[in-house]
Chain A
Amino acid sequence: NAGVTQTPKFRVLKTGQSMTLLCAQDMNHEYMYWYRQDPGMGLRLIHYSVGEGTTAKGEVPDGYNVSRLKKQNFLLGLESAAPSQTSVYFCASSYSIQGTSGSPADTQYFGPGTRLTVL
């Protein structure tokens, strides 16, 4: 199993450009998440999904959109990048404790991260 993979690993954008980050997991997890990590801030949740076709806002959703058209994929989009979005982005996925969508999340498994710089 590859676990959680992220594409791309690095990206440099100019202000106003758009891009999509792809997250894929092969563990058949119900839940998927996008975080950003900034120095001294820990990890902050951007958006998450509790099942195919569903998404929800996390702590810092502004400026980002997400889609989960397939259970194994979770896409994070930046429509008009800003320098404040310079960060390392991590995707994660998890089982639900009871094996069904709607029950609490179990351990999250993280991808390797995408380092994004917006100039």
Chain B
Amino acid sequence: AQSVSQHNHHVILSEAASLELGCNYSYGGTVNLFWYVQYPGQHLQLLLKYFSGDPLVKGIKGFEAEFIKSKFSFNLRKPSVQWSDTAEYFCAVIPYSGAGSYQLTFGKGTKLSVIP
């Protein structure tokens, strides 16, 4: 079974600081990768996803993520955070085929607090 690790439980940044949130997964085969965001009191929304092609993917609100297959990583980045980015961020993985290809496995999440 696949698993997802998010290295930081809580990150606190000042506005305009750069952000990088780590995500590593364990699975031997091909995977599809996602980052979701959950703003306070709201449901999860898709930030970006990677299925194939260019390993640097761009999402909404200036976020991007880079898939590094050799490191089993899919780190999320943003050059300059805003107070409105305060939220919890979840990395998720789903096998591309076979058993489990319907099931998204989530990391435990990283809370981002941006200080004005």
Contact = CB atoms under 8 A, between A and B. Distances in A.
Nearest to B46: A107
Nearest to A4: B43
B45 A48 contact: no
Interface in B39-95: 42-46, 49, 51, 90, 94-95
A40 B90 CA distance: 11
Q: Looking at chain B's contact residues, is the secondary structure mostly helix, strand, loop, or mixed?
A: loop
B97 A104 contact: yes
Q: Is the interface of A mostly helix, strand, loop or mixed?
A: strand
Kindly state the interface size class of chain B when it binds its partner. 20 to 34
Interface stretch (A12-20, A61-69, A76-84, A108-116): A108-116
Interface residues of A, number: 25
Interface of A: 31, 33, 40-45, 48, 50, 56, 58, 90, 92, 97, 103-105, 107-113
20 contacts: A33-B104, A42-B106, A42-B107, A43-B44, A43-B106, A44-B106, A45-B104, A48-B102, A58-B103, A90-B44, A92-B44, A97-B51, A105-B94, A105-B102, A105-B104, A107-B34, A107-B46, A108-B44, A110-B43, A112-B42
